[in-house]
Amino acid sequence: MSRFQRDVCVIGGAGHVGLPLAMTFADCGLSTVIYDVNKETVQKIKSGEMPFNEEGGQELLQKVLAGGNLSVCDSPELLSECRFLVLVIGTPVDEHLNPNFTAIHRAIDKCESQLRDGQILILRSTVFPGISRHIQRHLAKKNLDIHVAFCPERVAQGYSLQEFREFPQIISAFDPDVVDEVRDLFQKVAPEVIEMEPMEAELAKLMTNAWRYIQFAIVNQFYMIATQNNLNFDRILHGCRHRFPRLKGMPGPGFSAGPCLVKDTMQLAAFSENNFILGHAAMLINEGLPGHLLTMAKRQCNLSHMTAGVLGMAFKAESDDARDSLSYKLRKLLLLEARAVLCTDPFVTTDPSLVPLDKVMSESDILFVGAPHSEYRKLKIPRDKIVVDVWSCLNTTSDQRIDLIAAGHNGNGHL
């Protein structure tokens, strides 16, 4: 019989990763606590309102609140009653792209009075390799008999509830008994668990994201090479991928940023003593894409006489999350060049400067697609609008797309 009254507390449980996980634990019948310092979001969750877009999230939140398995708090009192503490706060890189090593230590110190011997602290934030060991020592220095595990999150934001149930969960800990306990916990959720050493798991998570980021970068560089040479990249991409299994999984070009991929690639770069050349190159390419789109537009239009519209400010399609979105970098660059810039997004609610889609459509001379939300695919784009659509998501005629066909070249290259 466990000496703890409750099963699990998710610290940072109101966040994009924490909330879906907490709801999933509660839905599995585990007595679950959300602890988060964001009072406003905690209030929303308590009242049954999902604070961000998550497929199936709204229904599940209401179900688990009604079921009585989920408690939601903005103070840490209930931590002491929980067997497992799952910590999933943000772990950003700083303005020099260096990992912030102290965020997790500070979060632990903040709730120290509620920590109890015998608890298991599961780190789920993405961390710099070696941080789990460091946290284990940090707790020992406080004379707390708390064991640390590292079990990274690998789901795609917005689709967590489905992906928890589909993908294997990597688990790791310093003590075999703790591995057994976290295996039991995650087997309630995931179809399979994969065991490794904590530092291997820390690297596996960073490498997963760096791999994705580099894949996007290579296609973005191909797009830049083609378009710099006035070639139609849509046709090239179709030719490369069509019924050719070795390029299965090759993504299309587009903005690649958001709260994870860049910073995790930079964490891996820092760990490799800045010898992760592919990672740094990917960062330069992906971060350079908004500038490339602007250069293409300037080559063919006098932007200073034009109003530019940006469709989609979230960091990816169908998301309401604008954190580290490259649409904002594009907006910054356009503000220096265009007569006016109008931005819109159907999901982002955090930016009061955004305007309705109708206004962008009627007042813009040139349209850039920032995030390829599905509703943009259905738009009728008037013939007089010029379009820069790296995602190829708008329904345009081929002569409207200046990123496909440069002035005077009609897509035939150096003619």
Ligand X SMILES: NC(=O)c1ccc[n+]([C@@H]2O[C@H](COP(=O)([O-])OP(=O)(O)OC[C@H]3O[C@@H](n4cnc5c(N)ncnc54)[C@H](O)[C@@H]3O)[C@@H](O)[C@H]2O)c1
The answer to the question of residue 125 lying near ligand X (CB under 6 A) is yes
CA of 93: how far to CAs of 1, 151, 169, in Å? 42, 20, 25
Among 10, 18, 266, 333, binds ligand X (CB under 6 A): 18
Is residue 83 helix, strand or coil? Answer: strand
The span from the CA of 401 to the CA of 232, in Å, is 10
The span from the CA of 96 to the CA of 397, in Å, is 43
Taking 3-state DSSP, the helix, strand and coil percentages for the chain, each rounded to the nearest 5, stand at 45, 15, 40
User: How near is the Cβ of 93 to ligand X at its closest, in Å?
Assistant: 10
The answer to the question of residue 90 lying near ligand X (CB under 6 A) is yes
The answer to the question of residue 224 lying near ligand X (CB under 6 A) is no
Residue closest to ligand X when measured from CB atoms: 15
Candidate segments 86-94, 163-171, 302-310, 378-386, binder of ligand X by CB under 6 A: 86-94
Determine contact, residues 279/213, Cβ cutoff 8 Å: yes
The span from the CA of 194 to the CA of 168, in Å, is 7
Among 9, 10, 11, 224, binds ligand X (CB under 6 A): 11
The answer to the question of residue 388 lying near ligand X (CB under 6 A) is no
Among 89, 214, 217, 334, binds ligand X (CB under 6 A): 89
DSSP string, 165-189: HHS-EEE-BSSHHHHHHHHHHHHTT
Q: Taking CB under 6 A as the rule, which mask of x and - marks residues 229-268 in contact with ligand X?
A: ------------------------------xx--------
Among 8, 9, 14, 121, binds ligand X (CB under 6 A): 14
The answer to the question of residue 16 lying near ligand X (CB under 6 A) is yes
Candidate segments 6-14, 167-175, 363-371, 380-388, binder of ligand X by CB under 6 A: 6-14
Candidate segments 16-24, 179-187, 191-199, 236-244, binder of ligand X by CB under 6 A: 16-24
Is residue 7 helix, strand or coil? Answer: strand
Closest CA to 149 of 179, 177, 107: 179
Instruction: Decide: residue 61, CB within 10 A, 0-12 exposed, 13-18 middle, 19+ buried.
Output: buried
The answer to the question of residue 57 lying near ligand X (CB under 6 A) is no
Among 107, 121, 178, 313, binds ligand X (CB under 6 A): 107
The answer to the question of residue 153 lying near ligand X (CB under 6 A) is yes
Interaction site with ligand X (CB under 6 A):
11-12, 14-18, 35-38, 41, 88-91, 107, 110, 125-126, 153, 157, 259-260
